[in-house]
């Protein structure tokens, strides 16, 4: 029997790529909030707790991709308050698995290597701050109510390379769609994570060694599904 997953933000930049890739493996309840909903989606405004609660009924897990980046008011209402509503609904309904997403916030540490997930400093981007607050809310709810909650941190997304990429080095911090789908499946299927809450970087290229992926490999078992860096090897 397929696991039932509420996918919030199903028509967003991430959702529209992940939804068709995850549908073969899960019974998705696809939710979005926009004037004209794509076929097969339900309307859920994550700013409204009652809507999140009703959408989450009967689900085994929640995948929260809902996000607003540019508006200073909506970014708080969607990213921070929305995350609170997700965790509150999970606690009320007894849902024990939540996958949350957010931005990599380590850019002020541009001179460092082996940067660990969640490291931050000098962040003045309101969207990033709203997501950091959401992470704290998720952690408190996860540890209080025993909800296994995983937070994946990203910077950029790319299509899977299919042929050699000339005159370029491997991207520093990005994930290809196949790897992202793989990481999401690992998060939705893993039985538990230490302390009920874990943050992980997820990327397809780590040859530069600047960001520490040891924990996502050890705890989640994540490895890129292919050696994507081979597409960037230069031939002389």
| Segments making up each domain of the chain, as ranges | 3-232
For residue 156, the SS3 value is: strand
Residue 60 has pLDDT above 90, yes or no: yes
Question: 211-216: which pairs have CB atoms within 8 A and are 24 or more residues apart?
Answer: 211/104, 211/106, 211/114, 211/115, 211/173, 212/114, 212/115, 212/116, 212/117, 215/116, 215/117, 216/117, 216/183
pLDDT at 160: 94
Q: Confidence band (pLDDT; 50, 70, 90) for 234?
A: low
CATH architecture for residues 3-232: 3-Layer(aba) Sandwich (3.40)
For the residues 41-47, what does the mean pLDDT come to? 97
Q: Confidence band (pLDDT; 50, 70, 90) for 122?
A: very low
The three state secondary structure string of 34-85 is CCCCCCCCEECCCCCHHHHHHHHCCCCEEEECCCCCCCHHHHHHHHHHHHHH
Terminal Cα distance for the chain, rounded: 52
In whole angstroms, give the CA distance from residue 148 to residue 192.
Answer: 6
User: Which residue reads 């031939």 in tokens?
Assistant: 235
pLDDT at 108: 46
Largest CA distance in the chain: 61
pLDDT at 115: 52
Lowest average pLDDT, out of 54-68, 100-114, 155-169, 219-233, goes to 100-114
User: Which residue reads 């701050």 in tokens?
Assistant: 129
Which tops the pLDDT comparison, 124 or 58? 58
Question: 219-227: which pairs have CB atoms within 8 A and are 24 or more residues apart?
Answer: 219/193, 219/194, 220/150, 220/183, 220/186, 220/187, 220/190, 220/193, 221/186, 221/190, 222/182, 222/183, 222/186, 224/176, 224/179, 225/178, 225/179, 225/182, 226/160, 226/178
Buried b (16+ CB within 10 A) or exposed e, 152-166: bbbbeeeeebeeebe
For the residues 193-206, what does the mean pLDDT come to? 93
pTM: 0.90
């Amino acid at each position: 029997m397929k696991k039932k997953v509420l996918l919030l933000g199903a028509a967003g930049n991430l959702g529209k790529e992940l939804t068709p890739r995850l549908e073969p493996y899960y019974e998705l309840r696809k939710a979005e909030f926009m004037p004209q909903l794509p076929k097969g989606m339900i309307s859920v405004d994550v700013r409204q707790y009652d809507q999140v609660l009703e959408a989450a009924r009967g689900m085994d897990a929640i995948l929260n991709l809902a996000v607003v980046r540019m508006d200073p008011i909506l970014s708080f209402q969607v990213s921070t308050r929305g995350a609170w509503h997700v965790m509150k609904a999970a606690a009320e309904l007894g849902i024990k698995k939540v996958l949350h997403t957010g931005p990599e916030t380590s850019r002020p540490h541009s001179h460092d290597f082996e940067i660990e997930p969640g490291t931050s400093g000098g962040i003045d981007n309101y969207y990033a701050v709203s997501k950091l607050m959401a992470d704290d809310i998720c952690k408190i709810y996860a540890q209080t109510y025993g909800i296994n909650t995983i937070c994946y941190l990203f910077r950029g997304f790319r299509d899977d390379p299919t042929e050699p990429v000339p005159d370029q080095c491997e991207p520093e911090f990005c994930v290809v769609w196949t790897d992202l789908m793989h990481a999401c499946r690992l998060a939705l299927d893993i039985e538990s994570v230490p302390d009920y809450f874990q943050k992980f970087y997820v990327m397809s290229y780590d040859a530069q060694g600047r960001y520490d992926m040891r924990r996502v490999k050890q705890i989640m078992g994540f490895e890129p599904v292919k050696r994507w860096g081979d597409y960037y090897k230069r031939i002389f």
